[in-house]
Amino acid sequence: MATAGNPWGWFLGYLILGVAGSLVSGSCSQIINGEDCSPHSQPWQAALVMENELFCSGVLVHPQWVLSAAHCFQNSYTIGLGLHSLEADQEPGSQMVEASLSVRHPEYNRPLLANDLMLIKLDESVSESDTIRSISIASQCPTAGNSCLVSGWGLLANGELTGVCLPSSRRSSAQSRGLTQSSASQAECLPCCSA
């Protein structure tokens, strides 16, 4: 996935391990279309908004950095943190933060959505609280048979944060989708990339 000469790759590798989904111990049945998350149970969830409309989601990985998809690139961002409902005008414990610096993965390929990762630096650090917290970064890939929780607001949701449990992906499934050996190795550590 990364070479010793590519610190960006190592950094992203560890982020991918931890933020592609939160590992859930035990079994978790797949939920069609997701179910509402308990309010503020995903305090790392970030909403990228433009003109008061959600256009992408992300994950707070540090008090001043959000990980999102590179295809969500803009010149500037307004990022909602500590939100559960997108319908609430001012949700207690939430913050709207501006950001003007983002770094896309150097090998991002838009047509293929390969390396579709981007880091966004918030203009100022946020104070962590019960409703806003950086996600814990995993130190290794999940083992086969584990499930993970993917959360977001989605396009068809009711404005409430929803989640769905998905099985961990394996290299064989990544390779069967036509990924190269290098990409398949990277996808092997994406615990929530296949349904």
Q: What is the pTM of this model?
A: 0.72
pLDDT, position 157? 56
User: What does the alpha-carbon distance between residue 3 and residue 77 come to, in Å, rounded to a whole number?
Assistant: 31
Q: Contacts from 185-188 at CB under 8 Å and sequence distance 24+?
A: 185/1, 186/1, 186/13, 186/16, 188/141
Residue 57 has, within 13 A of its CA and on its CB side, a CA count of 22
Residue 51 has, within 13 A of its CA and on its CB side, a CA count of 0
DSSP 84-150: SBSS-SS-TT-EEEEEEEEEE-TT-BTTTTBT--EEEEESSPPPP-SS--PPPPPSSPPPTT-EEEE
Q: Which CATH superfamily is domain 45-135 in?
A: Trypsin-like serine proteases (2.40.10.10)
User: What does the alpha-carbon distance between residue 125 and residue 102 come to, in Å, rounded to a whole number?
Assistant: 15
pLDDT, position 170? 53
pLDDT, position 156? 59
Q: What is the pLDDT along the chain (195 residues), one digit of tens a residue?
A: 333 444 445 444 444 434 443 333 333 333 345 678 888 889 999 999 988 888 999 999 999 999 999 999 999 999 999 998 887 667 889 999 999 999 999 999 888 889 999 999 999 999 999 999 999 887 777 777 777 778 887 765 578 888 887 777 654 444 444 444 444 444 444 444 333
